[in-house]
Amino acid sequence: MNNHRNMQKITQIVLYVALVIVAIIVVAPFVWMVSISFDRLANIQVPFPPTFIPDPFSLFNYELVFENGRIFSAYLNSAFVTFCSVFLQISAALLGGYAFSKGQFKGKKLLFIIVLATMMIPIEARLIPLYTMFNSAGLLNTFWPVIVPSILYGFGVFLAKQFFDQVPDSLREAAQIDGASEFRTFFQVYAPLAGPITATLIILSFMGNWNEFVWPLVVLNSERLHTIPLFLASFSLENGTSLAGMTMALATMSVLPIIIVFVFLQRYIIQSIALSGLKE
């Protein structure tokens, strides 16, 4: 018995050590990025080997970033596109998940398989058809091509369906007995219970849309419409490593909203996974 407990302790220690090593490997590049952003001399030469405490510590790079008004425009563009895309994605995912979970209609399984199949199609395979469609509609170089395709969110529909599968059907039956329509049943009965899964979908959707690069690069040609990833890419392309400190300051500013959203909503992820039936 003692040997078994000792073996368990050793296994846990090895596991924790391995997790700490992996965490350091994952976090170290981000810490180095932040360190370089506070290093004024990094604009002349990137410190190597990497130093994680800048010497001297300076806000010079951030002052340069904010002196350039383009970052404010890029932030506003990213915020607008991300907010609209997240709203459409979450709304469509919750409604679709509810329909596939509680609805009774012909071809439900086939339609659900088709929705899941969209997760297997990479954006590169959809670039030409989407570009042709929006070009024919005269919507290129506007935010519409970036926002509209985000409505189809296969993973979100799948996750929402898994969640609603765990909610008793008796709630829907009771609402129908009281004369509630299907939409009223969803919005007044099921939607208030979907807080954890909604928070998880918001995090995943926000990260995906805020960091979207390839598709906006294709359809947004004007600099005034550039989002944060496009602005960062254009700045890096123009300056290369000659202004590494300023580039890293821009990169740090670009991930800051994602960190803020994650910090506020991350506690819902584990809860939603447990409630959605994905837990082992």
- Helix, strand, coil percentages, rounded to 5, for the chain: 80, 0, 20
- Per-residue tokens: 19: 């997790």
Task: Give the residue extent of every domain in the chain.
Answer: 1-64, 68-275
Q: Which fold has domain 68-275?
A: MetI-like fold (1.10.3720)
Q: What is the pLDDT along the chain (280 residues), one digit of tens a residue?
A: 567 677 788 888 888 999 999 988 888 888 888 888 888 777 667 666 767 777 778 788 888 778 767 888 888 999 999 999 999 999 999 999 999 988 888 888 899 999 888 888 888 888 888 999 999 988 889 999 999 988 888 899 998 998 888 888 888 888 888 888 888 888 888 888 888 888 888 888 898 899 888 899 899 888 888 898 888 888 776 665 567 778 888 888 888 888 888 787 777 666 655 554 444 3
Q: Could you give the 3-state DSSP secondary structure of residue 57?
A: strand
Residue 86 is predicted with a pLDDT of 93
pLDDT at 269: 65
Encoded tokens for 262: 């994650």
What is the reported pLDDT for 242? Answer: 62
DSSP state string for 101-133: HH---TTHHHHHHHHHHGGGS-HHHHHHHHHHH
Give residue 279's pLDDT: 42
CA distance 77 to 70: 10
Amino acid 87: pLDDT: 94
Q: What is the pLDDT of residue 90?
A: 93
